[in-house]
Structure 1
C-alpha cells in the first residue's frame, strides 16, 4: 500500500467512565460518508460498550480477552491484518481502549514498521472526566499516562463545573501535557476540526499558572546546543523508558546528531522509543530540545541521564 494511501487510525482513550464511547459516536456520525471500522476493547468477557456505539460503522471488532495494551498485542495485529484483507479497505480505523489501558504501548504497536507500512496513526484522543480527573490522577497511574500520550485532550462533562474549576482543569492538563490540543464539551461532542487541530511539533518552554495539585505528574524541558551521539542517545533513553515506565510516560522533541546535518525527531510512549531523521535544519541553528512527561521528574536527573550522550 502506498504511503499516502495508508488507512488512518485514531485511538480513543481515557479512564473508566470518562465518556470515550460518546466521543467515538460523535466522530462516527460526522464521518458517516466514510468507511469506518471500530476496534473495541473492554476488560471483561462481555463488551457492554460495543452495544452503545451508535454511529455508522462498516465493521466492529471486539477484543474482550484482556487489556489491549498488555495482553492482546498479537490479537490486535491479527485484526489489523484482517482489515487489510478486506475487499474494500476502510478510510478510518478507530481503536477505543479499555479505561485502564497504558496508551503508550498501543501507540508503540502502531509504530512497528510492518504496521506503519499500511496504517497511519493520525491522532490519539484522551477523554477526561472534568468532575473526577483531579481525584483520578491522585488515585491511579493510568489517567496520567493516558493524558501524557495524547495529541488531543477532550475535557468532558463540564456542565457541573464553575468557570474557575474549569480553568483549573485546563491549566492542570496543559501543565501535564503542553504538547496536546485541549478542548472542552458538555456531553462528548468533538468536532472534526478539533480532532485535526495542529499539535505542537516543536516543544517550547511552558510556564503554567501557580496552581497547586495533589498529583505528582510534571513536565521537564531539556535544551542544549550540543549534538548527541546517536547510539548513546538511543541507549540511555531506551534504557530508562524500559526500566522506569511507571515514572517516565512520554518524551518528544527534536535533536541534533553528531556528524549529521539532519534534524532528528525523538518520540517515546510507554516502552517504545523512536528516533527518526525528518530532514534538514534549514535556516534553524541546530540544537536539541526535548520534553519529558512523567511522575516526579527532576531537571537535574534528566540532565545527568543525557550528559553521557553528548560525548564523542
Structure 2
C-alpha cells in the first residue's frame, strides 16, 4: 500500500489594515528559497486590488472577493484548495492572506471541519503582522486588531523604526496581555528570515511543548481594560476524564462565540499519555498523544484566549475536574 501523500502546510497571514501583510507576501514570493507557494488572497469588496500589488505571482494567486473570509466564503476557500490539490505540479506550501478587517477564526476552522481539506493540508501557523506605530490605538478602537493578535502563533511587530525602545516594550507587554504564547519578532518592512514565518509547525501544540515545555505555565498579570484577554489554568493533580471531557466540551459550546483560541495539555487520571486539546471558537478537538516522560511533571496546563470570559467560573469549574 502506497504511503499517503504528505500534508501541505498552510500559513494564514493576517493583520490590521496597513500593517505590512503585502510586503511580507512579496518577500515570500520573490526571495530565493527554492520553494513554490500558492497564495490565496481574500479581498474586502467586490473589486480586488491586492493581486496587482503582489509581485511575480502570475499563476500562484487566487482571489476570493465578496467580503471577509467567513461562513459565506468558506466554500470558496475549500474549492480553491481542492483545485490546488488536483494540479499536477505540487506546492511546498499555501499562504492565505486575509483582509485587514478579517477575523482569522473561520480560516482556521476550515482546516478542522472539512475532512478533505484536513486530509490534504495542515494548518502550520497563524502569522499576524502588526503596525508598531498605530497598534495601541488600533487595539483600543477595533475588536479586529485584538482578535488578530489573539489568534496568532507568530507576531511580526512591524515598523519598529517608528517607535522608541520604551514604546516597543509597552506595545509588547500589551500584546502579551492578549496572547501570552505567540512568538514576537521586531521587524522593519517585515524583514526577517522566512523560516521564522514559514514551516513553523506552530499550530502543533505537542511540538511546541517539546521545544518549550513551560510556555503554558508562565505567570502573566491580567488587567481587565481589554475585552480580549488570556486565562491560564494550571493543576498539579490529574484531571478526572469523566468530568473534564464533558466540561471542556461544554465550555466550547457555551462560550465558543467568545473563545478565540484554546490550547492545553492535560494530565488525565489513570492515563500514561498526554491529552492535547486545541480549539477555535466552538470547534474543539482533543486526543491522547505520546506517553509522559519519567522526568516530566504530569501537570495540566490550559490557556483560553477570549472576550469577556467568566474567569472565576471557569477557574472554579476547572479545579472541580481534578481527580
Shared fold per TM-score greater than 0.5: yes
2:189 is paired with a residue whose SS is: coil
Paired with 1:117 and 1:166, the residues of 2 have a C-alpha distance of 41
- Give runs of ≥4 in structure 1 deviating > 6 Å: none
Residue matched to 2:233: 222
- Measured at CA, do residues 296 and 28 of structure 1 come closer, stay the same or move farther in structure 2, by a change above 3 Å? same
Paired with 1:208 and 1:180, the residues of 2 have a C-alpha distance of 13
- The Cα offsets for residues 66-113 of structure 1, whole Å up to 9 and x where unpaired, read as 221332111111111111111112111110011222212211211344
Kindly indicate whether the alpha-carbon contact (under 8 Å) linking 1:205 and 1:221 is maintained by their aligned counterparts in 2.
Answer: yes
- Measured at CA, do residues 234 and 135 of structure 1 come closer, stay the same or move farther in structure 2, by a change above 3 Å? farther
1:251 is paired with a residue whose SS is: strand
RMSD (Å) for aligned C-alpha atoms: 2.6
* 1:62 to 2:63 alignment: yes
1:245 is displaced (CA, Å) by 4.2
Kindly indicate whether the alpha-carbon contact (under 8 Å) linking 2:42 and 2:65 is maintained by their aligned counterparts in 1.
Answer: yes
- Measured at CA, do residues 162 and 101 of structure 1 come closer, stay the same or move farther in structure 2, by a change above 3 Å? same
TM-score (structure 2 length as normaliser): 0.86
Consecutive unaligned residues in structure 2, runs of 5 or more: 203-207
- Measured at CA, do residues 264 and 103 of structure 1 come closer, stay the same or move farther in structure 2, by a change above 3 Å? same
Residue matched to 2:205: none
Residue matched to 1:287: 299
Please point out which of 178, 181, 187 is paired with 1:179.
181
Paired with 1:87 and 1:4, the residues of 2 have a C-alpha distance of 13
Q: Which moved more, 1:234-243 or 1:140-149?
A: 234-243
- Measured at CA, do residues 19 and 220 of structure 1 come closer, stay the same or move farther in structure 2, by a change above 3 Å? same
Residue matched to 2:18: 17
1:286 is displaced (CA, Å) by 2.4
Consecutive unaligned residues in structure 1, runs of 5 or more: none
Paired with 1:3 and 1:153, the residues of 2 have a C-alpha distance of 33
Paired with 1:197 and 1:77, the residues of 2 have a C-alpha distance of 23
2:14 is paired with a residue whose SS is: strand
1:290 is displaced (CA, Å) by 0.6
Please point out which of 222, 244, 264 is paired with 1:253.
264
Trace 1:144-183 onto structure 2 (pairs within 5 A). 144-183=146-185
1:309 is displaced (CA, Å) by 4.1
Paired with 1:288 and 1:179, the residues of 2 have a C-alpha distance of 16
Kindly indicate whether the alpha-carbon contact (under 8 Å) linking 2:14 and 2:126 is maintained by their aligned counterparts in 1.
Answer: yes
* 1:87 to 2:88 alignment: yes
Trace 1:107-256 onto structure 2 (pairs within 5 A). 107-112=108-113, 113-195=115-197, 200-201=208-209, 202=213, 203-207=215-219, 214-230=225-241, 232-245=243-256, 247-256=258-267
1:231 is displaced (CA, Å) by 6.1
1:25 is displaced (CA, Å) by 1.3
- Measured at CA, do residues 206 and 282 of structure 1 come closer, stay the same or move farther in structure 2, by a change above 3 Å? closer
TM-score (structure 1 length as normaliser): 0.88
Q: Which moved more, 1:231-240 or 1:265-274?
A: 231-240
Paired with 1:36 and 1:204, the residues of 2 have a C-alpha distance of 32
1:52 is displaced (CA, Å) by 0.8
Q: How many residues align?
A: 310
Q: Which moved more, 1:84-93 or 1:196-205?
A: 196-205
Residue matched to 2:44: 43
